[in-house]
Amino acid sequence: MYDLNLARILAFDIATKIPEIYKLNNAPNCLVDVPTNYYFHDISRFESFCKEALLASNPKANIHIIDDYYAEVSVIGAYYELGDDYNIIINPNKNTCWRRFALIKELCSLYTNHYHRERGTETLHRFDDYQKSLESSVHQKNLIEKKNLDDSNLDSDTFAILLACEIMIPPKYRKYTNGLIDRVRSGEMTMNDVAQSLSMPEYILQKIVDMDYYKDSCLFYEDQKVAEIINK
């Protein structure tokens, strides 16, 4: 149901439909000095994009983004659907990069669930109980620790994480980002510098660039036809 290539295709689809996400006048310097308020401007547009997709099939659809000030450190966010309401809960006590990651990841969950449902496939997880639900989330952590992801192990949450990473490391700037990562490997920069410039959690960035999936993903965006469309 969820394969690795689909994450790239959906990310590519999103990148072509809302190119303004990546359209910054000061690029590629934006990767070094991102204005503070940039963080949520792109998500705001992504949120609108998801809402438009939902409205096409359900005119009453509504996305609620909720801050939970009592959230414990162990939970970054949550997502659930109730009728026409699509609820994303964020832990506001986390730093900007984690909040941004959580919001994009949950919007990706929303978008992919909708994407599959539109094609007649029910993809929402129906967990038997909390235990199973959380085991799945813990499992998610184990999956992201792996260098080589197997399609058969890909659950909807892991898929959403991959898609979120595709969005957070913009295809258009992939080459430039890889240049920064090379500088990390040669000791000129730290991964934290790169993560901060991309406004994403260092932990997630480190895990994703170590994956075989990321290398394949970069090759996908280097394809001449794909590159032409993205760089328009």
Kindly list the residues in this chain that would bind another protein in the complex (CB under 8 A).
Answer: 24-25, 35, 37-41, 43-44, 47, 64-83, 85, 87, 89-90, 94, 98, 102-103, 105-106, 109, 124-135, 137-138, 140-141, 144, 156-157, 201, 203-204
Q: Which two tokens stand for residue 171?
A: 């295809």
How far is 57 from 38, CA to CA, in rounded Å? 30
Residue 79 or 221 with smaller CB distance to another protein: 79
How far is 196 from 187, CA to CA, in rounded Å? 17
Residue 155 or 229 with smaller CB distance to another protein: 155
Residue 141 or 182 with smaller CB distance to another protein: 141
Is 175 in contact with 219 (CB distance < 8 Å)?
no
How far is 89 from 91, CA to CA, in rounded Å? 7
Residue 12 or 38 with smaller CB distance to another protein: 38
In the complex, the smallest distance separating the C-beta of residue 141 from another protein, rounded to whole angstroms, is: 5
In the complex, the smallest distance separating the C-beta of residue 225 from another protein, rounded to whole angstroms, is: 30
In the complex, the smallest distance separating the C-beta of residue 215 from another protein, rounded to whole angstroms, is: 21
Separation of first and last alpha carbons in the chain: 31
**Taking the mean position of all CA atoms in its chain, how far away is CA 159?**
9
Nearest to 161 by CA among 180, 181, 141: 141
